Amino acid sequence: MKTEAQETVLLAPMEGLLDFVLRDILTRVGGIDRCVSEFIRITDQLLPERVFYRIVPEMHNGGRTLAGVPVRAQLLGSDPGCMAENAARLASLGPAGIDLNFGCPAAVVNRHGGGASLLREPETLTAVVGAVRRAVPAHMPVSAKMRLGYDDDARAVECALAIEAGGAGELVVHGRTKAQAYRPPAYWERIADIRAAVKIPVVANGEIWTVDDARRCREASGCNRLMIGRGAVRDPGLGLAIKADMANGSAPAVSWPTLLPLIAEFWHIVCSRLDARARAGRLKQWLNFLRRRFPEAEVAYQAIKTINDPVVVDEWLTRLLQANEGARLPTPSSPVAMPALV
């Protein structure tokens, strides 16, 4: 019989978008019970500790974001021995758990036998999960994320059972195949087939942009736990709204004035942790998502879309905050020891 946890809304890993900076900011808004990091690529060597810390700097803070939300570190690879060796080192650094990536659709990853390509080899799924499970302490959670398949979903249940057989304690299922990439729709009803076949908890993921989407996903998949990604980047209050709806209530929408200080804090972290050449691009990237939800973000995006000088962006943001009810740049929080990303 499945054991249901209290965690109901998870924040997805998204390479090049949902990194430790956005994890920090989005978990401050609330509504997120757990995060998963972007993948750490494992090939043929034991990675130094600094690589793990660079991707998951929350391990300097007990494996949690500054808001106290636990973060599982995600590994991607196909060699059981090498995955186990790296998982053991990673576990010693104190993440909130270890997640295994069997869903990445990127061509460069799949060409080298990682991510969703392993969904063509259920026996390898079992071997990788089993090796990692044996390599880390018994108290360390080991979970996995998969898609419905590679070219089609014919082996979806077989792959899920293979992951369970390896010893994973939880399975996140993205309701599309590798071939379907991120094209709508997500096939949540196929997640229900997987949930019926395995004994471990299943988390539904894919195409959850609104509370209504979340409600329909729960109904179609049978899952009470959901993982959200781009929807949360576009609407930082989505997790709060979903959890309120699950409790038969409602949550006030996160307003633009409420979000502005968090955008300023996001910019502060970006400026203190990222190379100068990447800073403006990161802010534009987030505003590009936010403008689909907030008309004010569209205005902001248009104002800085051609600006790349961090000093000019900083001056613009200060003026924007001052123009919104006298808001000001927030006093920077006391960040954990996060190394700069270059």
Give tens-digit pLDDT for 27-85: 999 999 999 999 999 999 999 999 999 999 999 999 999 999 999 999 999 999 999 99
- Give the CATH H-level superfamily of domain 9-246: Aldolase class I (3.20.20.70)
pLDDT-derived band at 105, boundaries 50, 70, 90 = confident
CATH number of 256-323: 1.20.225
d(CA 82, CA 136): 13
Catalytic residue among 104, 159, 217, 271, which? 104
Whether 104 is catalytic is yes
With a CB cutoff of 8 Å and minimum separation 6, the contacts of 278 are 270, 341
What is the 3-state secondary structure of the chain? CCCCCCCCEEECCECCCECHHHHHHHHHHCCCCEEEEEEEECCCCCCCHHHHHHHCHHHHHCCECCCCCEEEEEEECCCHHHHHHHHHHHHHCCCCCEEEEECCCCHHHHHCCCHHHHHHCHHHHHHHHHHHHHHCCCCCCEEEEEECCCCCCCCHHHHHHHHHHHCCCEEEEECCCCCCCCCCCCCHHHHHHHHHHCCCCEEEECCCCCHHHHHHHHHHHCCCCEEECHHHHHCCCHHHHHHHHHCCCCCCCCCHHHHHHHHHHHHHHHHHHECHHHHHHHHHHHHHHHCCCCHHHHHHHHHHCCCCCHHHHHHHHHHHHHHCCCCCCCCCCCCCCCCCEC
Residues constituting the chain: 342
pLDDT at 342 over 80: no
> 138-192: per-residue pLDDT in tens?
999 999 999 999 999 999 999 999 999 999 999 999 999 999 999 999 999 999 9
Strands 226-228 and 170-174: unpaired
CA angle 137, 37, 141 (to 5 degrees): 25
For residue 308 the two structure tokens come to 């790349």
pLDDT of residue 341: 33
Closest residue by Cα to residue 324 from 293, 299, 306: 299
Count CA atoms closer than 13 A to 69's CA, side-chain side. Answer: 26
| Chain segment 20-33, per-residue pLDDT in tens | 999 999 999 999 99
Asked if residue 338 has pLDDT above 80, the reply is: no
Mean pLDDT for the stretch of residues 96-118: 81
CATH code 1.20.225 region(s) in the chain: 256-323
Residue in the structure block whose two tokens are 């009803």:
189
Give the model confidence (pLDDT) of 232-288 as tens digits: 999 999 999 999 999 999 888 899 999 999 999 999 999 998 888 889 999 999 999
Rounded to 10 deg, the angle between the 238-246 and 211-221 helix axes is 50
Question: Angle of helix 276-290 relative to helix 295-304, nearest 10 degrees?
Answer: 150
Whole-number average pLDDT of the chain: 91
Contact between residue 49 and residue 92 where contact means Cβ atoms under 8 Å apart: no
Domain with CATH 3.20.20.70 in the chain: 9-246
Question: CA dist 35 to 30, 261, 316, Å?
Answer: 12, 22, 31
Does residue 131 contact residue 80 with C-beta atoms inside 8 Å? yes
